[in-house]
C-alpha cells in the first residue's frame, strides 16, 4: 500500500524557490494605475486609454490603439518600481494578458516588453515576446535579471510594435511584476 506522507527516507526535497522581494499586480480597475503611455518616433500615431470594452479581470483594461500605416513604430506603457533595499541584482518577472481580435498574418504584431534600470526609448530597447496571431486573450511573460547595485529604481514596460500597414486596436489587462 502506498500512503501519503509516509515519510520514506530519502524523499527528494525540491530546491527552495528564490524569496519574493516584491509582488505588484495591476488589473486596471481603478485607471491606468501608474503606467504611462509612450511611443517612439517611428509610429505614425498611437494612444493608450483606460477602457471598459473588454477585460481579462474585472471590467476594465488598457486599450492600445496604433496607426501602423508606416509599418513601423512601438507603443508601450511603462512604470517605475523601487529596487528592494540592499539588492545588488534582482530578477524581474512580468506577466500580462493581451486581447487580440482575429488571426492571420495581418493580425500578427509583436508583443514587446522591457525591464531594466533605465526606461525604454526606442524599439531596440524591447524584447519580442510573441505575436498577436491569437483570437482572444493570451498571456505573455518575460523574465530578466538586472544589475541594480547603484540605482534605486527600475522600469518595466510592455506594448506593441507595428508590423503591418494598418491601424489596429489591442487590449492589455492583469499585469504582474514579481521581483526575486
Ligand atoms: Ca481589469
- Which tens digit of pLDDT belongs to each residue from 130-159? 998 888 999 999 999 999 999 999 999 999
**Average pLDDT of the chain?**
90
Going from the Cα of 27 to the center of ligand 1, the distance in angstroms, rounded, reads 4
pLDDT tens figures, 100-136: 887 766 678 899 999 999 999 999 999 999 998 888 9
Residue 12 lies in a domain: no
Query: Can you give the pLDDT at residue 25?
Result: 98
Going from the Cα of 147 to the center of ligand 1, the distance in angstroms, rounded, reads 31
State whether residue 107 is helix, strand or coil: helix
Q: Is the pLDDT of residue 2 over 70?
A: no
Residue 71 lies in a domain: yes
**9's grid cell:** 527516507
**3's grid cell:** 500512503
The domain spanning residue 56 has which CATH number?
A: 2.60.120.430
Going from the Cα of 83 to the center of ligand 1, the distance in angstroms, rounded, reads 26
The answer to which of 3-12, 44-53, 85-94, 108-117 has the lowest mean pLDDT is: 3-12
Query: Can you give the pLDDT at residue 180?
Result: 97
- The share of the chain scoring above pLDDT 90, in percent, equals 71
Residue 174 lies in a domain: yes
- What is the distance between the alpha carbons of residues 160 and 144, in angstroms, rounded to a whole number? 19
Query: Can you give the pLDDT at residue 135?
Result: 87
Going from the Cα of 161 to the center of ligand 1, the distance in angstroms, rounded, reads 22
Can you tell me the mean pLDDT for 53-66?
96
Residue 62 lies in a domain: yes
pLDDT tens figures, 81-95: 999 999 999 999 999
Domain membership of residue 42 as a residue range: 22-179
Residue 32 lies in a domain: yes
Query: Can you give the pLDDT at residue 4?
Result: 54
Number of domains in the chain: 1
State whether residue 40 is helix, strand or coil: coil
Residue 142 lies in a domain: yes
Residue 75 lies in a domain: yes
Residue 1 lies in a domain: no
CB 166 within 8 A of CB 7: no
Label residue 9 by pLDDT band (50, 70, 90).
Answer: low
**160's grid cell:** 506593441
Half-sphere exposure of 94 (CA within 13 A, CB side): 28
Query: Can you give the pLDDT at residue 163?
Result: 81
Amino acid at each position: 500500500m502506498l500512503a501519503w506522507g509516509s515519510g520514506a527516507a530519502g524523499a527528494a526535497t525540491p530546491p527552495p524557490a528564490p524569496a519574493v522581494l516584491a509582488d505588484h499586480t495591476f488589473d486596471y480597475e481603478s485607471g491606468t494605475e501608474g503606467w504611462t503611455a509612450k511611443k517612439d518616433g517611428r509610429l505614425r500615431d498611437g494612444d493608450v486609454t483606460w477602457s471598459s470594452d473588454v477585460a481579462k479581470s474585472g471590467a476594465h483594461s488598457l486599450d492600445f490603439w496604433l496607426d501602423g500605416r508606416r509599418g513601423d513604430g512601438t507603443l508601450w506603457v511603462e512604470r517605475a518600481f523601487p529596487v528592494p533595499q540592499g539588492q545588488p541584482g534582482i530578477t524581474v518577472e512580468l506577466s500580462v494578458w493581451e486581447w487580440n481580435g482575429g488571426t492571420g498574418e495581418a493580425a500578427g504584431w509583436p508583443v514587446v516588453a522591457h525591464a531594466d534600470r533605465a526606461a525604454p526609448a526606442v524599439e531596440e530597447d524591447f524584447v519580442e515576446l510573441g505575436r498577436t496571431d491569437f483570437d482572444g486573450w493570451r498571456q505573455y511573460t518575460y523574465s530578466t535579471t538586472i544589475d541594480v547595485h547603484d540605482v534605486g529604481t527600475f522600469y518595466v514596460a510592455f506594448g506593441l510594435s507595428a508590423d503591418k500597414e494598418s491601424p489596429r486596436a489591442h487590449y492589455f489587462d492583469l499585469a504582474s511584476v514579481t521581483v526575486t
